[in-house]
Chain A
Amino acid sequence: MKITRKQFLKLGAGSLVALSGATAVAERAAGDRASPEKSNAASARRQYAMVIDTRKCLQRPGCTQCMEACHQAHNVPYINNPDHKIDWIWKAPFQNVFESYDSPYIQITLKNEPVLVLCNHCDKPPCVRVCPTGATWKRKEDGIVTMDWHRCIGCKYCIVACPYGARSFNFTDPRPYIKHLNPNFPTRHEGVVEKCDFCAERLAGDKPPVCVETCPVKAITFGDVNDPSSDVRKLLGAGLTLRRRPQLGTGPNIYYIV
C-alpha cells in the first residue's frame, strides 16, 4: 500500500493527539485510586503527644524525680558547667517558657516555680529541616523526632534551629560525668547532639516514657493525639491548654495545663 506524504502527516498528528489523551485519562484514573489510600494512611498514623499539668507539678515544688529518672535511663551526663550542660528534660522559668503569656500580675506560684520543658516533637520540626546529614528525622509511624547518633557530625545547626532550646551538645566526652550507668542504653561521645526521644526504646516494649511513669503526682499524660479516645485527647478536649510559641508554626506536641 502506498501512502502519500499528506496522509502520513495526518496519521502521525492523529496518533499523537490520541496518545496524549489516553495517558492523561490513565493518570487521572491512577490518581483517583491512590488518593483514598493516602488519606487512610494519614488518619491511621499516630502522633505521640504529652499533656503536662503544671497545677499538679506545682504541688511538689523543687521535685526533680522525672528529670532524674530520665537522665539515669538515658545515660545523660551531669555536667555542672552551664555552657556544657546536657538536658533532655528540665525546668525553666514561666516567663521564659511562655513569654507571651507573662504579665507583672501573674499568679505568684507561676512566677516563682519553673515549668517542666522538653523536646516538643513538632509537627514541622525545624531541626529536621536544617540537618545536613539526615541524622535527625520525624518518624512516620508515630511522629517522634528522633536521632541517629551514628550520623550526627556535630555541626550544631539543629541547636540553632530549635526555638525551644531542646537540644544539647557534647562539648566534652560525657562518660566521666555519668552518675549511674544504664548498660541497656548507649552513652554519647564528644561532638554529638542529643535530646529527648520520647523514650522510643521503651515504647518499642509497650512501656510509657520514663518521666510519665516516674511522676509521683501523675502530672504528665502521654498518648496518641490522633486517637480521639486517648487520654491526651480527653484532657485537650476538657479545657484550655497552652503550647510553647505556637505562632512559629512548628506545631509543638507538648501541651500545658496552667
Chain B
Amino acid sequence: MRDRAWIVAGLALFFALFTYPLWSRALRGQRGEETKLALLMPAHQADCVMPVTYMRASHMKLLILWRREVVRENIHTFRAYDGKVYNISLTGTCLGCHSKAQFCDRCHDYAGVRPLSCWTCHVDPALTAEKLK
C-alpha cells in the first residue's frame, strides 16, 4: 500500500499521454470543423449524376452498378435523377469533371479509406504513355 502514490501518478501519466490527441487540439484552440477537407469541385458542371449527398455516401454502389451494366449487360448510358443522360464511363464521365488526384485521391487519403484497385487499369486522363514508363 505504500506504493499507492506511484501507482496513481503512473496511471494519471498514462491516461494523459493516451488521450493526448484529444486534448492537444483543444489546448491549441483548434476545432474539428476547421480541418474539414475542402475538395476541388468541377467549375463547369453544377450537377452530378446523383445528388451530392448520395454520391458522398454511396458513390461506390453507383460505380458497381455502372460496372455491371457496361460489362455484363451491355448498357452504356445512364439516366440521372434529373433526367439527363450520361455515358457510363469512369474515365470519360467521372474524370471528365473530377480530377483523380485532387478529388478521389485527396478524399480517400483524408478518410483513410483504401480504394479498390480502380487505377491499375482505368486510365486517368492526366496519364500519358510516357508517365507509365
Contacts and interface: CB of A to CB of B under 8 A. Distances in A.
A150 B71 contact: yes
A218 interface: no
A204 B129 contact: no
A139 interface: yes
B72 A148 contact: yes
B129 A181 contact: yes
A183 B125 contact: yes
Interface string A130-162: 000000000101000010111000000000000
Contacts of B117: 189
Interface residues of B: mostly helix, strand, loop or mixed? Answer: loop
Interface in A178-201: 178-189, 200
A127 to B, nearest CB: 17
Nearest to A182: B123
> Interface range on chain A: under 10, 10 to 19, 20 to 34, or 35 or more?
20 to 34
A178 B133 CA distance: 8
A44 B74 CA distance: 17
A41 B133 CA distance: 49
Contacts of A204: 74, 76
Contact of A175 (B89, B91, B132): B132
Given A148-B71, A148-B72, A181 B127 contact: yes
A176 interface: yes
Counting chain B CB atoms within 10 Å of each CB, which of A150, A185, A188, A200 scores highest? A150
B7 to A, nearest CB: 56
Contacts of A184: 89, 91-92, 123
Given A186-B122, A187-B121, A181 B132 contact: yes
B98 interface: no
Contacts of B91: 183-184, 186
Interface of B: 67, 71-72, 74, 76, 89, 91-92, 117, 120-123, 125, 127-129, 132-133
A189 B127 CA distance: 16
A150 B117 CA distance: 10
A186 B127 CA distance: 12
Nearest to A144: B74
Contacts of B92: 184
List the 3 closest pairs (A to B, CB-CB), nearest first.
A189-B120, A181-B129, A186-B121
A19 B132 CA distance: 71
B71 A181 contact: no
A255 B53 CA distance: 53
Contact of A200 (B74, B121, B125, B133): B74
A148 B120 CA distance: 15
A125 to B, nearest CB: 17
B38 to A, nearest CB: 28
Contact of A176 (B121, B127, B132): B132
A150 B120 CA distance: 11
Contacts of B132: 175-176, 178, 181
Contacts of A186: 91, 121-123
A186 B74 CA distance: 16
Contacts of A75: 123
Contacts of A150: 67, 71
Contacts of B120: 173, 187, 189
